[in-house]
Amino acid sequence: MTSADRPARPVLSDGIVTLRPLIRDDIDGIAGACQDPQITRWTAVPSPYGRADAEEFVARQEPDEAWWAAPTWAITIVPEDRWCGSLTLRLDGADGADVGYLLAPGARGSGHAERALRLACAWGFSSLRLQVITWHAYVGNEASLRSARRVGFQIPPHVFEAYGVQRGRRRDSWVGTLTPEDLSAATRVGEARRDYLGPDLTRRERDVLHHLALGQANRTIASELGISENTVKNHVRSILEKLQASSRSEAVVSALRLGLVSLPS
């Protein structure tokens, strides 16, 4: 397919998480986030990581040929367009791909990785006609393991010794595969769990919900939990979506009814 034949690079969104092409305005955010110890521990990004590394990463995505060989997006959280992470599908040329992603510290713990994975994999199956997508993580990366399983990746209880390579060193890994059927089945299960078992709130969302029940404002919640006010806003937005509530008060009422919180005596 020539450059003239290729469609525009897709922007994907589920109403909470948006995947869009990287832009040069993302460089500072990438450079800052990739100095985080957890990203250094669980990914293969250069260490130490500087602004030049971020510039090179973004520049690699600029040619169309490079992007379509390994579709790469910035992960953002609506309504903002600020970079919160990156996700790549590395195509193998035989109807398969390997997925890799990372999230900035402030975007973790709210199910955003799961949403981003689901968006990218669904697009890969529908638009690129992929037959399988492979995921792997270094042993111990429990957060990535949980996200992959929720999306539907089939991950055997087996450690693949020395499977991964991190900055020249072999590391034991978990490996999983996802087919279109796996993704569809996991999506149905997820919808059923929401229908019958209530909302799947993260631990941090439950913390925020507790403070909402106390009638606290975002600034106060941020101070109490030691997180940014913007992060509180993102958690509140996710809580409203999961509880199918149109306001904070409606969310608290629903949470009380479901037994997720209780009012102070």
Does 32 score more than 70 pLDDT? yes
CATH of 201-257, one of 1.10.10.10, 1.10.287.130, 3.50.50.60, 3.10.20.30: 1.10.10.10
Residue 196 has pLDDT above 80, yes or no: no
For residue 164, the number of C-alpha atoms closer than 13 Å in the C-beta half-sphere is: 22
How many Cβ atoms from other residues are within 10 Å of residue 189's Cβ?
12
* Torsion sign over Cα 214, 219, 222, 225: negative
Q: Is the peptide bond before 7 cis (omega within 30 degrees of 0)?
A: no
Answer yes or no: is pLDDT of 191 > 90.
Answer: no
Q: What is the pLDDT of residue 265?
A: 53
Q: Residue with structure tokens 């709130």?
A: 201
Domain ranges of the chain: 12-193, 201-257
Looking at mean pLDDT, say which of 50-59, 101-110, 184-193 comes out highest: 50-59
pLDDT at 1 over 80: no
pLDDT digits (tens, 9 = 90+) for 63-99: 999 999 999 999 999 888 999 999 999 999 999 999 9
* pLDDT in the model for residue 4: 53
Whose tokens are 């439950």? That residue is 206
The predicted model scores a pTM of 0.72
Look at residue 214 and tell me whether its pLDDT is greater than 60. Answer: yes
> C-alpha distances in angstroms, 76 versus 64, 105, 221, 233, 244?
21, 13, 23, 14, 21
**Residue 263, class by beta-carbon neighbours within 10 Å (0-12 exposed, 13-18 middle, 19+ buried)?**
exposed
Instruction: Compute the average pLDDT of residues 195-209.
Output: 74
Pairwise CA distance, residues 19 & 76, whole Å: 6
Asked if 259 contacts 215 with a C-beta cutoff of 8 angstroms, the reply is no
Residue 74 burial by CB count (10 A; 0-12/13-18/19+): exposed, middle or buried? buried
What percent of the chain lies above the pLDDT cut of 90? 71
Parallel, antiparallel or unpaired: strands 72-77 and 17-20: antiparallel
Cα distance between the two ends of the chain: 66
Residue pLDDT, tens place only, 101-155: 999 998 988 889 999 999 999 999 999 999 999 999 999 999 999 999 999 999 9
pLDDT of residue 195: 43
> Which of 3.40.50.10470, 3.40.630.30, 3.10.129.10, 3.40.190.10 is the CATH number of 12-193?
3.40.630.30
